[in-house]
Structure 1
Amino acid sequence: MPVVAAAVCPHPPLLIPEVASGAASDLDPLRAACLTAIEALATATTVLVVGSIPAGAPVFPRVYGADAGGSFGAYGAPGVRFGAGPEVLPLSLAVGGWLLEQSKAASLPRTYWAVPTDAVPDECVRLGREIADGNDRVGLLVMGDGSARRSEHSPVHLHPRAEIFDTTVAKALQHKDLDVLEALDPDLAGELQAAGRAPWQVLAGALAGTPLAGDLRYEAAPYGVGYFVASFT
């Protein structure tokens, strides 16, 4: 069983206190839930962070090494960075790397994989199964937001199916319903701007056949975007 623990977290840049500035306390519950969920990854020998990149990326998955750098200068916090290499990580992976830096798993070897938001579900599931077929004891950190159309104050205007979609995902994470995750419609996810669809389907493939149980630690849409935190141990 190479996947020995997994965590699901969202990737809003406001998770980083220096980015949120005076509003940092607004996301204290979400930040705390993320940090708690990823503590179990310390039982692994290596950590794999899976996140999304915009549709149309020509490489699947796009792989970044352990020294890849992440920075939040574009979000008003140029002093917050990590990694010895160039600052190449997309937002989803940069937030994942930042969370790891705050955890007991910070010293473990890590790799970052980015999958495009329009990736074919079967390819995402297959990628997850390849992870599970490896020999390393993997701690899997899956970064993904739910719908960005949950309210009139969302980044994109309210969509009537957004809350139903997010509720479906939340229940699937809670009950480790991998069939539901695998069946998420990429066209609907794209319409709802749910960036986590492809990474969640990688997770579904990676957890197939494992005895890990799901625990949904957080579910809310504080800024009109669905955020979930779950752990699998």
Structure 2
Amino acid sequence: MSIVATFAVPHPPLIVPAVGHGREREIARTIDAYREVGHRVAALAPDTIVISSPHTEMYLDYLHIAGGAGATGTFARFGAAHDGARVAYDEEFVQEICRRARATGLAAGTQGERDPSLDWGVLVPLHFVLQGYRDLGVPIERKGGLPTVPCPVVRMGISGLSPAEHYRLGRIVQQVAEELGRRVVYIASGDLSHKLKDDGPYGFSPDGPVFDDLVCDAFRDGDFLSLLSADPGLCERAAECGLRSFQIMAGALDRTPVAAELLAHEGPFGVGYGIAAFTPAGPAGSDEARAFGEQYDAWHAQDLKRRREAEDPWVRLARFSLESYVRDGRRVKAACDLPSELAESLPEELTSTRSGAFVSLKKDGQLRGCIGTILPVRDTLAEEICANAISAGCRDPRFSPVEPAELDELVYDVDVLSTPEAVASVEQLDPRRFGVIVSAPGGRRGLLLPDLDGVDTVEEQVRIAARKGGIDPAEDGVGFERFTVTRHL
């Protein structure tokens, strides 16, 4: 046996009547599609249900799988403490996932659980699964006032790891299902964009509808490569929720022919709710055209090559400096330390002017380090960039130092700063045009660069900058400065 069906579903708590108190009627199409999913799950009578949720334990570099014998959860945080679910975990399935993850070097397992209770990303799907069982006449045991899901469950989170690693976890789920002879239903819980309407909880971004269209096209066509290769900047600006959950689901159907159905999509509250079903149309492993993990690896390698070939001298300088330091322990201090080809390509601005500069590193679309100087502290801009590239890679306290094996995966930004100017109030700020420096008595300062994905308002920009400096924006003596940047990619 293996994966008998997978479903992508949203998790708005208000879809549960005890939470929505009637507002759920505004997403009637989603409810109808969700009921269809619940009925299909119950009719399949799976041996195990595997659910991934963005709201369970989440780590930057580790995929968490819930351990133990089982768990409970309620909608208490949404005002419905009497409504929820109880599950027994498929402990053998979990143990085998962890064993395979260790054997293949995937950072996944049961360590680090801080809250064992079921989150709403799991509870909402289980609400409809339980209803599906009830509608089929399956007796539902209640214990401690909560209904128990009739079959064992495996619950997993997402992480800051790459799309390839999430897909690998899904492949392991597929392999374990086959090895243990389980009939498995996989449920990928996750909303789409949170920025579909001005009056929504997160406002509107033009990228919100674009992201929803991308995911719905993938759901409709079963083209999972687009879920893996989605632009991280677009995803951040759209404030997406479920993409990595869907990537795990894609891995659970690796090389499997499927019948894909987009059952519903709507977003009346400013958050995208998509429901899709994928039914295997042949044996797992029988369709090489659907080896999306390998296709993504090839695409990713080509994308990195394209980006590297397009780097300008500012970025090539930063890259050479960090790579020289990480690989050989050698610091680049002047043009004479550079290869002749790179030294000859440096514009005069780099070798004869002074400016503050920030170097940012990303890996798989996630920040991997960012360090810079507000005002110049070295003789030339080139030296400023070289020193800050090393600091971004090896001295950002939020991250471990970059390892040699990571160097080829890094994408660099270099921001050259103008001289900061004081402003009388936040009314003179603009998060797209200006960076901001928030200062407070005692020498505390927090800085945020302009035009960052996901930072759309002055209030948000100031809040983040202030937090970085340990500052309350409302305290006495707080001042603001703004600056512009020239961004090099």
Shared fold by TM > 0.5?
Answer: yes
Q: CA deviation at 1:5?
A: 0.6
Structure 2, unmatched stretches of 5+, are 89-114, 139-148, 280-489
- Counterpart for residue 179 of structure 1: 225
Secondary structure of 2:54's aligned partner: strand
Aligned match of 2:200: 154
**% identical aligned pairs:** 28
Counterpart check, 1:114 vs 2:157: yes
Aligned position for 2:70: 67
Check the 8 A contact 1:8/1:228 in 2, yes or no: yes
CA distance in 2, matches of 1:210, 1:56: 29
Cα separation, partners in 2 of 1:83 and 1:57, compared to 1, 3 Å: farther
**Distance in 2 between residues matched to 1:41 and 1:149, nearest whole Å:** 30
Matched, 1:98 2:98: no
Structure 1 residue 57: Cα displacement? 5.5
* Cα deviation 1:199-227 (Å, max 9, x = unaligned): 01111111122222110010111111111
* Pick aligned residue for 1:88 from 109, 117, 120: 117
Distance 2:71 2:211 in 1: 33
Output the CA distance in 2 between the equivalents of 1:229 and 1:66.
30
Number of the residue aligned with 1:28: 28
Q: Secondary structure at the match of 1:209?
A: coil
Q: Match for residue 252 of structure 2?
A: 206
Q: Number of aligned pairs?
A: 232
For the pair 1:51 / 2:53, whether they are aligned, the reply is yes
Instruction: Give 1:119 deviation, angstroms.
Output: 3.5
Distance in 2 (alpha carbons) for counterparts of 1:34 and 1:156: 24
1:127 to 163, 166, 169: 169
- Matched to 1:124, the amino acid is H
**Residues 159-168 or 84-93, more deviating:** 84-93
Q: Which residue of 1 aligns with 2:5?
A: 5
Q: State the 1:84 CA deviation.
A: 6.4
For the residue of structure 1 that corresponds to 2:70, the secondary structure is: coil
Do the aligned partners of residues 186 and 41 (structure 1) sit closer, same or farther apart at CA in structure 2, a change above 3 Å counting? farther
Superposition deviation, residue 195 in structure 1: 0.8
Q: CA deviation at 1:168?
A: 0.9
* Greater Rg by CA: 2
Runs of 5+ unmatched residues, structure 1: none
Counterpart of 1:10 in structure 2: which amino acid?
Answer: P
Instruction: Tell me how large the CA RMSD over aligned residues is.
Output: 2.2
Could you say which structure has the greater relative contact order, defined with CA pairs below 8 angstroms and 6 or more residues apart?
1
CA distance in 1, matches of 2:278, 2:161: 24
Q: Indicate conservation of the 8 Å contact 1:65/1:111, yes or no.
A: no
Distance, in Å, in 1 between the alignment partners of 2:69 and 2:275 is 24
The 5-angstrom pairing of residues 138-153 of structure 1 reads 138-153=184-199
